[in-house]
Amino acid sequence: MSIEIRTYGDSVLRRVADPLTKIDAEAKRIAEKMVEAMIRANGIGLAAPQIGVSKRIIVLDLNGEFHILLNPEIIETSQESEEIVEGCLSIPGVNAEVTRKLRTHLRGITLDEKPVDIEGEGLMARAIQHEIDHLNGVLFVDYLSPARRRSLLKEYHRKQKEKDE
């Protein structure tokens, strides 16, 4: 049985995810399913709410580096930001320019309970911010103007309807 990525409109995507209180077999199983779903979808990052689990877990696969992070938090970001086209596995088929910080410092815990610090720049920093947003119930469309958001979501719904026909 494969895990499906939850899409726009699913209430789990708007919930603030709960911290993990223990790293057990269940946490490891969730992380494994997340990795499987991310790879299957050709993604570079995935947060647990995207597979319907409201826990603070993210996976990243960037620049030849693979990370599974539990209870991640952004410690610091740069003042500089950049606007780049961004998409999301939970809102497939559409994308928009989103402004995010250029550099990010993330702290979390690995599956083997070791603390980890990651300093990301460019795409890595963007992916970190995007996945942390998911843990806080925020989607990339929330950064758009109301008119741009309506237009993008209308396009998303049209594409989903076409796909279902």
Which residues are designated catalytic? 131
Host H or E run for residue 132: helix 123-135
What is the helix, strand, coil percentage profile of the chain, to 5? 35, 30, 30
Classify strands 57-62 and 45-47 as parallel, antiparallel or unpaired: antiparallel
DSSP states along 75-89: EEE-S-EEEEEEE-T
Of the CA atoms within 13 Å of residue 10, those in its CB half-sphere come to 16
- Would you say 14 and 47 are in contact if contact means Cβ atoms under 8 Å apart? no
